[in-house]
Structure 1
Amino acid sequence: MEELFDGLLNDRLGFVVWAAVAFLILLVLLGKFAWKPIMGAIYERERSIEDALLKAEAAKEEMTRLTTENESLLKQARAERDQILKEAKQVKDHIIGEAKAAAQAEGNKIIEKAKMEINNQKAIAMADVKNQIATLSVDIAEKILRKQFADQQKQNELVTDLLKEVKLN
């Protein structure tokens, strides 16, 4: 047996056998002490990658949801802005319309007041002209009568004519 043992050590076949035995021992030692921690680390790494992928997918879905929500909020904000602008335009038009109506009414009042003032001034002027005409007429009549009554003969004729016109009952 010693020969067989020596033959195995000296021979090339012996080298292969010893290499195989060493490999099996190494394999058993690695399996017992290193394989489980390495496999655990690989499994743990695989789990962390899967978790990261799931988180990335969740983040992508959340980003899509937020983008959709932002677009919805933007559309709503635009609609509100358009509504506010429309209401502001209506208020502006209403205020302008009221101002125009008020200005028109005030203008009409001023025109009416001016017409009344003109008519009042016209009536005052006409009354003044009538008074002046009446005064002039009385002055002229007085001068004519004085001239006619200056002669006694003409006075007697006038009294006689007036008495003829008056009839007694």
Structure 2
Amino acid sequence: MQLITPELGLIFWQLVIFLLVLFLLAKFAWKPILLSLKEREDSIEGALRMADEAKLEMQALKAGNEKLLADARRERDQMMKEASTMAEKLIETAKTRATEEGGRMITQAREAIQNEKNAALAEVKNTAAQLSLDIAERILRRELSDPAAQKQLVDSYLKDVKLN
């Protein structure tokens, strides 16, 4: 029964030891423990604040990245549109040049054909004139008085001309 009901001396000494331990803890341990708890609380608070700041910064970076992507897409679309326009202009210019060059070549060919035709006609005229002169010269040399002989001479000359 003594273990269940402590005596007054035991209670006194337990109280003295408790107060002594309490005093020693208050004198030496409470301040460092409270300081370390305060430091830990401050570091946790700082880490939470930094995490919030990092989160805000990440959101700002994400918004900036989205804006940059939108600008890049817009610029790409504009460049594609300009390239398409330039390609169409180049094609149109090439078509125009080809049409002009073709027209110029056709005109030159027609002029060349006309010049050749004129030259051939001039040569035919010259040849006909020369033949006429040759025939007249031969007729005059003979001085034929007989019309039948003249007709026969002209027929023979015409046969010569047709053969050549």
Task: Give the TM-score range, shorter chain.
Answer: 0.7 to 0.9
Q: 1:14 aligns with which of 9, 17, 25?
A: 9
Equivalent residue runs for 1:67-78 within 5 Å: 67-78=62-73
Q: Which structure would you say has the larger Rg?
A: 1
The amino acid of 1:61's aligned partner reads L
* Counterpart secondary structure, 1:98: helix
Q: Corresponding residue for 2:101?
A: 106
From 122, 125, 128, the equivalent of 2:120 is 125
Identify the residue that residue 51 of structure 1 maps to in structure 2.
46
Q: Tell me the TM-score normalized by structure 2.
A: 0.79
More moved, 66-75 vs 99-108: 99-108
The letter for the 2-side match of 1:59 is A
Letter in 1 for 2:131: L
- Shift of residue 145, structure 1, vs aligned partner: 4.6
Segments of structure 1 that go 5 or more residues without pairing to the other structure are 1-10, 155-169
Give the length in aligned residue pairs. Answer: 142
Work out the CA distance in 2 between the residues paired with 1:16 and 1:126. Answer: 154
Q: Indicate yes or no: 2:58 matched with 1:63.
A: yes
**Mapped partners of 2:9, 2:124: distance in 1:** 161
CA deviations 1:24-61 (Å, max 9, x no partner) are 12112211221111101101110111011000100010
User: In structure 2, how many angstroms separate the alpha carbons of the residues matched to 1:150 and 1:56?
Assistant: 136
Give the match for residue 164 of structure 1. Answer: none
Residue 27, structure 1, aligned to residue 28, structure 2 = no
Which structure exhibits the higher relative contact order, with contacts defined as CA atoms closer than 8 Å and separated by 6 or more residues?
2
* Partner deviation per Cα, 1:112-159 (whole Å, 9 max, x = no partner): 011001000100000101111122222233444555x323x77xxxxx
Q: Tell me the distance in 2 between the aligned counterparts of 1:68 and 1:17.
A: 71
CA RMSD of aligned residues (A): 1.8
Aligned equivalents of 1:106, 1:12: Cα separation in 2: 130
C-alpha distance in 2, partners of 1:55/1:130?
Answer: 109
1:150 counterpart SS class: coil
Give the Cα–Cα distance (whole angstroms) in 1 for the partners of residues 26 and 20 of structure 2.
Answer: 10
Segment of structure 1 superposing worse, 135-144 or 102-111: 135-144
CA separation in 2, counterparts of 1:145 and 1:13?
A: 187
Q: Which residue of 1 aligns with 2:153?
A: none
- Between the aligned partners of 2:21 and 2:47, the Cα distance in structure 1 is 35
Residue 162 of structure 2 corresponds to which residue in structure 1?
none
